[in-house]
Amino acid sequence: MLGSGFKAERLRVNLRLVINRLKLLEKKKTELAQKARKEIADYLAAGKDERARIRVEHIIREDYLVEAMEILELELDSGLAESVSTLIWAAPRLQSEVAELKIVADQLCAKYSKEYGKLCRTNQIGTVNDRLMHKLSVEAPPKILVERYLIEIAKNYNVPYEPDSVVMAEAPPGVETDLIDVGFTDDVKKGGPGRGGGGGFTAPVGVPDGTLPMPMPMPMPSPSTPFSYPLPKGPSDFNGLPVGTYQAFPSIHPPQIPATPPSYESVSA
């Protein structure tokens, strides 16, 4: 039986609103990221390496946020169990950017029960998208990733920069070349529109009307050993909610949506 607060039409409308708002935010943040790279290049040219390093950490977080939005956008149309749990998990973390996402999560909790919503918010359900959780992690970006951003920005804006030798020496073999590919073109180096933007990696080419197409997703590193997401250090608070990965409960899943509507018997007066 559906929760008493569930309204299918309200859910449908807000799902479409979330998709549209995510697309707008992705485009806006991509354009801002391109401008920020030039600002970082100016810091490097002025010898303000520490300030550039702090600024690039913010750029990395914004790039991750854009990629998280792209993943979430795909979840709005994909398989039921992962999509439902991922949307509910992401709502408190992105509702300041996409207000309608909270309405969507509330409607899903009304449909599948409040208890199911609690399990999703802490990922005790075990079906939240791993890549999305990684992109929305509150941990600082790896130092090697910060250095690679600075190296590529400096190179493509023709600014001298000497990377931190200690950080570069500690990087695992293969990471230096596989971790990032900003992909600027010559017109960016000359100050014109070009490549760059959300994701911080292979970025889109501007079109004549000034708009930017959606950025390509970040290529995953390919070190000598298979990549695995780091285990959490136990639950921690996030906006008053416990955050962490717990043992999955495979028996708890959203109920299947019936293929045909239920039939109702007529009720005589």
Residue that is written with structure tokens 């600082």 in the block: 140
Q: Tokens standing for 133?
A: 């959780």
For residue range 128-181, list pLDDT tens digits in order. Answer: 999 999 999 888 889 999 999 999 999 999 999 999 988 888 877 655 444 444
Ranked by mean pLDDT, which of 11-20, 43-52, 76-85, 218-227 comes out on top? 43-52
Domain count, the chain: 1
With respect to residue 112, please indicate whether it lies within any of the assigned structural domains.
yes
- Within-domain flag for 75: yes
Cα 102 from Cα 152, distance rounded (Å) = 37
Residue 73 is assigned to a structural domain of this protein: yes
Which of 133, 84, 137 minimizes the C-alpha distance to 253? Answer: 84
- The domain of 133 spans 8-57+64-139
Q: Is residue 125 part of a domain?
A: yes
Residue 161 included in any domain: no
Q: Give dist(CA 32, CA 36) in Å, integer.
A: 6
Q: What six digits make up the tokens of 120?
A: 């999703």
In a domain, 90, yes or no: yes
Q: Is 175 within the bounds of a domain?
A: no
Long-range contacts of 214-221 (CB under 8 A, 24+ apart): 214/23, 214/26, 214/27, 214/30, 214/70, 215/26, 215/30, 215/66, 215/70, 217/67, 217/70, 218/63, 218/67, 219/178, 219/181, 221/174, 221/175, 221/178, 221/179
CATH number at residue 29: 1.20.1260.60
CA distance readout (Å), 216 to 62, 100, 182: 15, 25, 11
pLDDT tens for 249-265 read 444 555 565 566 555 55
265 contacts: CB under 8 Å, gap ≥ 6: none
Distance CA 266, CA 269 (A): 10
Domain presence at residue 262: no
- pTM higher than the cut 0.85: no
